[in-house]
């Protein structure tokens, strides 16, 4: 469908001959969301705040008719469900997060991260070339991988991005895609931050 035989506007693809694609019920609006916002089973031991999904964020996106591109969980994909240490939950969260961050910065994990980023890029490129609205990306603050405004380093929650989100946002920017990003934690304020993102505004204060 690439090339002069197709045109795109408002998320609708028109092929040569007046054939239109994507005129069904889809909203053609989506956000990218950290995996555990939709699947708390993936989160590191001891840190799940919901049985299944981040309820406030999921409810908001459902009500808004926004599709959710669920990102892979980089820690699960690179380190496993127990993050390579079954005693992780016995440590303070930011201490364990710092250990996880170090593991994720090793060359083997970093190579896997690049492959995960590429999988996301493939999907984003498709939506983008068909003119869908990618409204932004929602991460998880304090996470060593998916933090947006804050991450974990040196045993503390610090300003900065997680290693996966940094790579992903850099890769998107390299293709000219500058997506607004917010980080959330558990609780109703998370939905307020995502609502701001949907309105095209990035909240000024981080969710810490």
Min dist. Cβ of residue 92 to ligand SF4 (A)? 16
For the record, the structure tokens of 14 come out as: 């028109």
**Which phi and psi (to 5°) does residue 133 adopt?**
-90, 110
**Which phi and psi (to 5°) does residue 159 adopt?**
-65, 140
For the record, the structure tokens of 75 come out as: 């820690």
Min dist. Cβ of residue 171 to ligand SF4 (A)? 16
**Smaller CB distance to ligand SF4: residue 43 or 134?**
43
**Smaller CB distance to ligand SF4: residue 22 or 50?**
50
Min dist. Cβ of residue 123 to ligand SF4 (A)? 16
What SS3 state is found at 153? Answer: strand
Around Cβ 5, how many Cβ atoms within 10 Å?
10
**Smaller CB distance to ligand SF4: residue 98 or 143?**
143
Residue 15 and residue 136 in contact, taking contact as beta carbons nearer than 8 Å:
no
Min dist. Cβ of residue 82 to ligand SF4 (A)? 12
Min dist. Cβ of residue 203 to ligand SF4 (A)? 18
**Smaller CB distance to ligand SF4: residue 36 or 66?**
36
Element (H, E) at 29: strand 29-33
Shortest-Cβ-distance residue relative to ligand SF4: 36
What SS3 state is found at 168? Answer: helix
**Smaller CB distance to ligand SF4: residue 28 or 54?**
54
**Smaller CB distance to ligand SF4: residue 13 or 109?**
109
Query: CB-based contacts of 176: which residues, under 8 Å, 6+ apart?
Result: none
Min dist. Cβ of residue 100 to ligand SF4 (A)? 8
List interacting residues with ligand SF4 (CB under 6 A). 34-36, 42-43, 73-76, 140, 143, 145-146
The CA-atom distances, in angstroms, between 197 and each of 36, 102, 145, 186 are 19, 30, 20, 17
């Amino acid at each position: 469908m690439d090339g002069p035989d197709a045109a795109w506007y408002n998320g609708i693809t028109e092929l040569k001959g007046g054939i239109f694609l994507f005129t069904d019920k889809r909203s053609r609006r989506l956000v990218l969301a950290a995996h555990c916002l939709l699947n708390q089973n993936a989160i590191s031991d001891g840190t799940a705040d919901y049985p299944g999904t981040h309820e406030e964020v999921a409810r908001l996106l459902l009500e808004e008719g926004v599709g959710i591109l669920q990102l892979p969980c980089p820690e699960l994909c690179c380190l496993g469900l127990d993050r390579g240490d079954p005693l992780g939950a016995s440590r303070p969260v930011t201490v364990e997060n710092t250990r996880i961050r170090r593991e994720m910065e090793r060359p083997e994990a970093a190579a896997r991260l690049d492959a995960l980023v590429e999988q996301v890029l493939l999907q984003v490129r498709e939506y983008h070339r068909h003119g869908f609205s990618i409204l932004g990306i929602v991460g998880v603050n304090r996470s060593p991988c998916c933090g947006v405004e804050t991450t974990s380093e040196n045993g503390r929650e610090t300003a900065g991005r997680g290693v996966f989100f940094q790579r992903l946002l850099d890769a998107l920017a390299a293709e000219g895609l500058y997506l607004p990003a917010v980080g959330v934690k558990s609780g109703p304020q998370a939905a307020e931050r995502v609502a701001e993102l949907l309105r095209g505004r990035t909240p000024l204060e981080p969710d810490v």
